[in-house]
Amino acid sequence: MNQPVSHKADGLIRFRIDLSYDGTDYWGWAMQPGIPSVQGELVTALTTVFGESKDAFGMRVAGRTDAGVHATAQVAHIDLNPAQLKRLGRSIGMVGKLNDLLPTDIRIHSVTEAPKGFDARFSASYRRYRYRISDGLSTKNPLKARYTLWLNHELDLLAMKAASLELFGMHDFASFCRRKPNATTIREVRDIQIKRNPLEENIVEVELLADAFCHNMVRSIVGALIAAGEGKASPDDVAEKLAKRTRVGSYKVQPAQGLTLIEIGYPADDELEAQAERARNMRTLDEN
């Protein structure tokens, strides 16, 4: 491999990892003692290759997916020192070594030296998720049951699209999120697409793009859209719930298996640090 260049004052070299996984058998991304997680499997493989790390190799991820949620385009970063890199020996890269150590439901697609200022989480400018629903007009494919919510009745996509318009833009999504201490629930939803895919058993695909998502936000929004598609919620109902900023009486958080992280967006290399600085600042609606 080419001689890596240190981008950090302490001599560490940062690497970007692009990966995908089937989240069915994991309790989400984040490591937890005694519980299988995607991050835990990665750290175990990294430890075998590079030795023990007190801080999990400084790993940070673009989107901390919940238990059972999948990803086709996850991004993480790790920091390695020159001594750790020497353990690779004459290898031209670490992708093959790590994939040999990982379970088959987690695959690393690339490991590249990160540009200066790159942070997998804070440098990201948007995330895109897709939720798959097999409704009354869809063919139930058992081979894709791990990745699809099954409903027996038909959904009204026009009603779902009308309700989705109430969620565009910068809002406090407290009604659609599980709150965390010292964390904001203000997010900017930039795009929502709802369509039926004739090439995929006629399933309904709901795609959401936002600068970031808080805990359970996507699955709660999908719950609101399903309620609209069933005739149980109007656009005004959704707007009213958004304005209340409380989870009390809000829409059902839909099952995890239908949700997949499909894209992480980053700005140009010379804008990575500025984007990370903006993302670290606590937002309020008064400032936007």
Can you tell me which residue has the tokens 């967006």? Answer: 265
How far is it, in rounded angstroms, from Cα 107 to Cα 130? 19
Q: Is 57 exposed, middle or buried (0-12, 13-18, 19+ CB in 10 A)?
A: buried
What's residue 287's pLDDT?
A: 47
How far is it, in rounded angstroms, from Cα 46 to Cα 206? 35
What's residue 288's pLDDT?
A: 44
Instruction: Decide: 108 and 98 in contact? Cβ < 8 Å.
Output: yes
With a CB cutoff of 8 Å and minimum separation 6, the contacts of 159 are 228, 229, 231
pLDDT tens digits, 37-46: 999 999 999 9
66 flagged as catalytic? yes
What's residue 282's pLDDT?
A: 67
pLDDT tens digits, 144-178: 999 999 999 999 999 999 999 999 999 999 999 98
Q: Is the pLDDT of residue 91 over 70?
A: no
CATH code for 13-123? Answer: 3.30.70.580
pLDDT tens digits, 50-89: 999 999 999 999 999 999 999 999 999 999 999 998 888 7
Q: Considering the chain, what percentage of its residues have pLDDT values greater than 70?
A: 94
Q: Which residues pair with 112 in a beta bridge?
A: 16
Confidence of residue 286 (pLDDT cuts 50, 70, 90): low
Report the residue count for the chain: 288
Classify residue 152 by its DSSP letter. S
Q: Which of 66, 79, 135, 211 is catalytic?
A: 66
Confidence of residue 4 (pLDDT cuts 50, 70, 90): low
Instruction: Decide: 34 and 223 in contact? Cβ < 8 Å.
Output: no
pLDDT tens digits, 239-280: 999 999 998 888 999 999 999 999 999 999 999 999 999 998
What's residue 285's pLDDT?
A: 75
| Domain 126-264: CATH class, spelled out | alpha beta
**Of 229, 254, 234, the residue nearest 150 (C-alpha):** 254
What's residue 101's pLDDT?
A: 96
Torsions phi, psi for 189 (to 5 deg): -85, 120
What's residue 281's pLDDT?
A: 83
Query: Where do the CATH 3.30.70.660 domains begin and end in the chain?
Result: 126-264
Query: Where do the CATH 3.30.70.580 domains begin and end in the chain?
Result: 13-123
What's residue 10's pLDDT?
A: 72
Long-range CB pairs of 267-272 (<8 Å, 24+ gap) are 267/123, 267/125, 269/115, 269/116, 269/117, 269/118, 272/115, 272/116, 272/117, 272/118, 272/119, 272/123
pLDDT tens digits, 195-236: 999 999 999 999 999 999 999 999 999 999 999 999 999 999
